[in-house]
């Protein structure tokens, strides 16, 4: 999922941004932490770039899995259980140590985080992906986040975007229009419904991004704040029959795929790796490289999902990618690109 930057919410759960409060980015070429392990011979910038490339791959995998769910033996509720449950299991000891800080988070920012990247966002992204394509998920969900965040900031009394950021937002809008114009002219109801749902998902992620700026949690704490109530909600909805579940009859390969991509990848690794990359590269460089996520989705969807890029995709995705890169330059709010 994968945006407007200096007060950077670096921490996450997902989809695509990470929040690391009280952490200063080391200047280029410097790092206070020793280089150990398999990356001992590499510079801090090289290690950060490796972490960032892995993050972009995970963001792309989220978009691909949103589309793949429509042909999977898993249902959306099953994928959500894996998405929010696996990080809780892996991080249980660390979250227990942070229980007091988690309990101290105010209701308003907690609600923004839980609604913005939790069950409502996840189901909207999955449903929108089932009606459109991986390229649409990878471009619209992270691509529109800077626009929605800017709107929220203006509504909160901040100044309107100017200069490079305004140009970037205009390119994002142009890219989305290029993506959907053909389907609007043909009145393709399914695709238009899917696009509308993906726009809702993007707006929710923007709400999550704003909420992250209002809490004082490290990336692990932010993951716990998101996943604990989200898992409780999705478990309650499945146990009461509100949402159907088919995980007991699902193919083992499908369960393994979504466990790795959604649970370990999006739920756990993306946030931690992105926070790590920002420490090494800085928020601006990280956001520019992270904006390549939509391109990665389009390229990977060809061999993995047998999707052929259409002319709207070829025109729209580069416009959105360039717009996201420009919108992240010298702006006040860093926005996640993943979902």
pLDDT at 269: 92
Residue 188's Cβ-count burial label (10 Å; 0-12, 13-18, 19+) is middle
* Residue numbers of the chain with a pLDDT score lower than 50: 2-36, 331-339
Name 116's Cβ contacts closer than 8 Å, sequence gap at least 6: 204, 205, 206, 207, 208, 209, 210, 211
pLDDT at 37: 55
pLDDT at 25: 44
pLDDT at 6: 34
pLDDT at 337: 44
Name 153's Cβ contacts closer than 8 Å, sequence gap at least 6: 4, 210, 332, 333
- Spatial distance between the Cα atoms of 296 and 129, rounded to a whole number of angstroms: 16
pLDDT at 163: 87
pLDDT at 288: 66
pLDDT at 48: 81
pLDDT at 277: 79
pLDDT at 292: 80
pLDDT at 319: 93
């Amino acid at each position: 999922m994968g945006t407007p930057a200096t007060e950077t919410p670096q921490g996450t759960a997902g989809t695509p941004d990470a929040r690391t409060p009280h952490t200063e980015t080391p200047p280029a070429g410097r790092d206070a932490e020793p280089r150990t392990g398999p990356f001992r011979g590499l510079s801090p910038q090289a290690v950060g770039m490796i972490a960032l490339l892995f993050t972009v791959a995970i963001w792309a995998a989220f978009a691909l899995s949103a589309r793949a769910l429509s042909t999977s033996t898993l249902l959306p509720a099953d994928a959500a259980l894996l998405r929010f449950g696996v990080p809780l299991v892996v991080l249980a000891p660390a979250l227990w140590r942070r229980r007091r800080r988690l309990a101290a988070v105010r209701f308003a920012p907690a609600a923004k985080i839980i609604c913005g990247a939790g069950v409502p966002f996840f189901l909207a992204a999955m449903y929108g992906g089932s009606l459109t394509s991986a390229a649409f998920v990878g471009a619209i969900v992270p691509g529109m986040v800077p626009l929605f965040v800017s709107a929220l900031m203006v509504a909160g009394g901040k100044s309107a975007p100017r200069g490079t950021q305004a140009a970037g937002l205009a390119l994002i809008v142009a890219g989305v229009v290029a993506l959907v114009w053909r389907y609007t002219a043909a009145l393709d109801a399914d695709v238009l419904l899917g696009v509308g749902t993906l726009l809702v998902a993007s707006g929710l992620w923007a709400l999550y991004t704003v909420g992250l700026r209002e809490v004082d949690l490290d990336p692990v704490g932010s993951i716990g704040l998101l996943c604990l109530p989200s898992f409780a909600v999705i478990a309650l909805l499945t146990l009461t029959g509100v949402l159907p579940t088919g995980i007991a009859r699902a193919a083992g390969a499908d369960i393994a795929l979504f466990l790795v991509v959604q649970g370990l990848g999006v739920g756990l690794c993306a946030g931690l790796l992105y926070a790590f990359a920002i420490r090494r590269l800085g928020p601006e460089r990280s956001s520019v490289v992270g904006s390549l996520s939509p391109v990665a989705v389009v390229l990977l969807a060809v061999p993995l999902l047998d999707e052929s890029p259409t002319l709207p995709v070829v025109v729209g995705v580069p416009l959105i990618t360039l717009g996201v890169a420009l919108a992240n330059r010298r702006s006040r709010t860093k926005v996640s690109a993943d979902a």
